[in-house]
A and B are shown apart, each in its own frame.
Chain A
């Protein structure tokens, strides 16, 4: 298990967005979280990446706790213990994140986008970081794009650069937020194969989408979220073959 989430709660201004979400992710597994916008799936991803702090719950990445429930806590103690700076950094190293809009650094070349964090945050020697970046670009079929700037790339290319950047530190978990939303439909198959390659290499992939066709294509396991809760969960087969819940049926029917 590379990622475990248990009893995760988060509210914004008193409005609950996550109400006790629990699941786990195995190495090599592609877990797809589906649900309407507003179902809490983006917040879930942002909590896992420590972009927002959850209110309560446990998030464990590769055996390290980003936050942990403290059941023994008394009145005066915090019910949830959060990881501190250096631990968070170790967890970040094990987590890759590909944003919906990619969020590449526009003032840096493709290569600089990829090597910036390894060199300046994690102290990887420049040569080593460059070599790794070149290998990633070749793997993602962008071998001649290292010197290009993000504005010169197509949407699909930007996304692959974002994946390369997220892969630069050999993460164990790759998170992707709506990977098909900014792409032309004909690029779906390409990104599906890229994601499958990552998983085949042993990475756990957590992706959120409201694109049912894509979820069907790529998922090993599916979680359906609504109103901050998991309504259904199962292997792709189980999930799509036995949809009992009316709300999920409605969602899938569009």
Chain B
């Protein structure tokens, strides 16, 4: 049994690597993009607000799985002819989808900050950019941390969706081994990997939240 699990590890670890790549790349790009989208959504530029509302509506209103299929297979159809490689297609779908969710979380965070903070910043002479980066953004981070934590944990599990475009992440490696060996064990090992990842992330977010507990 132990020998069998050890024999599974090389494939599982390569699957884990793909899972982690998708996970981290999605976070690295979708969080800053989400901030920009949130700022745009809160701007007074009406056409921009309309475009962003539409984007958020589509991204949150359709399954991520459909978005993946659309970007990889749909755009790749001869009639459209935008053939992306699997990984790029998966990344585009994930980043666009998660940026939309993050944007809504950030918007809520920004809107919940007392208007008096803007007044105070203004009378002290802060520029709009300084007000955002020094006063609003740091306070927003604390407010949105629990929601971002939830999203991040959902993201770990959502990475499994990329199996649809044929990327060899954790779940796909598990299924291959499970089918090949007619065994449940590879799936249990996969579950253990996901549980470990989410446990680590939960801990990390607890730490970060604690670090922001210095003020109220």
Assuming A99-B119, A107-B215, A149-B214, is B125 touching A122 (CB within 8 A)?
yes
Closest 10 CB pairs of A and B: A117-B124, A103-B120, A103-B116, A151-B216, A121-B125, A97-B123, A92-B125, A149-B215, A107-B138, A49-B123
* 18 more A-B residue pairs beyond the given contacts A49-B122, A89-B125, A107-B215, with a C-beta to C-beta distance below 8 A: A49-B123, A51-B122, A92-B123, A92-B124, A92-B125, A95-B123, A97-B123, A99-B119, A99-B120, A103-B114, A104-B120, A105-B120, A106-B139, A106-B216, A120-B130, A121-B127, A121-B130, A150-B215
Residues of B at the A interface (CB closer than 8 Å) are 114, 116-117, 119-120, 122-127, 130, 134-135, 138-139, 142, 214-216
- Partner pick for B116 among A49, A89, A101, A107, CB 8 A cutoff: A101
Nearest CB on B from A54, distance (A): 15
The count of residues in chain A whose C-beta lies closer than 8 Å to any C-beta of chain B is: 25
Closest A residue by C-beta to B127: A121
In the bound complex, how far is the Cα of B92 from the Cα of A72, in angstroms? 59
B215 touches A151 (CB 8 A): yes
Closest A residue by C-beta to B130: A120
Contact with B along A97-135 (1 / 0, CB 8 A): 101010111110000000011001110000000000000
B123 touches A51 (CB 8 A): yes
Nearest CB on B from A40, distance (A): 18
Assuming A106-B215, A106-B216, A151-B216, is B123 touching A121 (CB within 8 A)?
no
Most-contacted residue by chain B among A93, A95, A104, A120 (CB, 10 A) = A120
In the bound complex, how far is the Cα of B134 from the Cα of A166, in angstroms? 18
Closest B residue by C-beta to A117: B124
In the bound complex, how far is the Cα of B216 from the Cα of A150, in angstroms? 8
B124 touches A121 (CB 8 A): yes
Nearest CB on B from A167, distance (A): 12
Closest A residue by C-beta to B123: A97
Chain A residues whose CB sits within 8 angstroms of the CB of B126 once the complex forms: 117, 120-121
Chain B residues whose CB sits within 8 angstroms of the CB of A93 once the complex forms: 125
Does A10 sit at the interface, judged by CB under 8 A?
no
- Partner pick for A105 among B123, B135, B214, CB 8 A cutoff: B135
Closest A residue by C-beta to B139: A107
A-B contact count (CB 8 A): 57
Closest A residue by C-beta to B115: A103
Does A221 sit at the interface, judged by CB under 8 A?
no
Chain A residues whose CB sits within 8 angstroms of the CB of B120 once the complex forms: 99, 103-105
Residues of A at the B interface (CB closer than 8 Å) are 49-51, 89, 92-93, 95, 97, 99, 101, 103-107, 116-117, 120-122, 149-151, 165-166
In the bound complex, how far is the Cα of B142 from the Cα of A151, in angstroms? 15
Most-contacted residue by chain B among A49, A103, A116 (CB, 10 A) = A103
Chain B residues whose CB sits within 8 angstroms of the CB of A51 once the complex forms: 119, 122-123
B130 touches A103 (CB 8 A): no
A116 touches B124 (CB 8 A): yes
Chain A residues whose CB sits within 8 angstroms of the CB of B142 once the complex forms: 107
Chain A residues whose CB sits within 8 angstroms of the CB of B127 once the complex forms: 121
Nearest CB on A from B185, distance (A): 49
Most-contacted residue by chain A among B117, B125, B139 (CB, 10 A) = B125
Chain B residues whose CB sits within 8 angstroms of the CB of A101 once the complex forms: 114, 116
- Partner pick for B117 among A50, A105, A121, CB 8 A cutoff: A105
Chain B residues whose CB sits within 8 angstroms of the CB of A120 once the complex forms: 126, 130, 134
In the bound complex, how far is the Cα of B139 from the Cα of A151, in angstroms? 14
A-B residue pairs in contact (CB < 8 Å), sample of 21: A50-B122, A50-B123, A51-B119, A51-B123, A92-B125, A93-B125, A99-B119, A101-B114, A103-B114, A103-B116, A103-B117, A103-B120, A105-B117, A105-B120, A116-B124, A117-B124, A120-B126, A149-B214, A149-B215, A151-B216, A166-B123
Most-contacted residue by chain A among B116, B123, B126, B215 (CB, 10 A) = B123
Chain A residues whose CB sits within 8 angstroms of the CB of B134 once the complex forms: 116, 120
In the bound complex, how far is the Cα of B156 from the Cα of A162, in angstroms? 45
Most-contacted residue by chain B among A49, A121, A150 (CB, 10 A) = A121
Chain A residues whose CB sits within 8 angstroms of the CB of B138 once the complex forms: 107
Chain B residues whose CB sits within 8 angstroms of the CB of A151 once the complex forms: 215-216
In the bound complex, how far is the Cα of B136 from the Cα of A107, in angstroms? 10
In the bound complex, how far is the Cα of B114 from the Cα of A135, in angstroms? 29
In the bound complex, how far is the Cα of B116 from the Cα of A97, in angstroms? 12
In the bound complex, how far is the Cα of B216 from the Cα of A151, in angstroms? 6
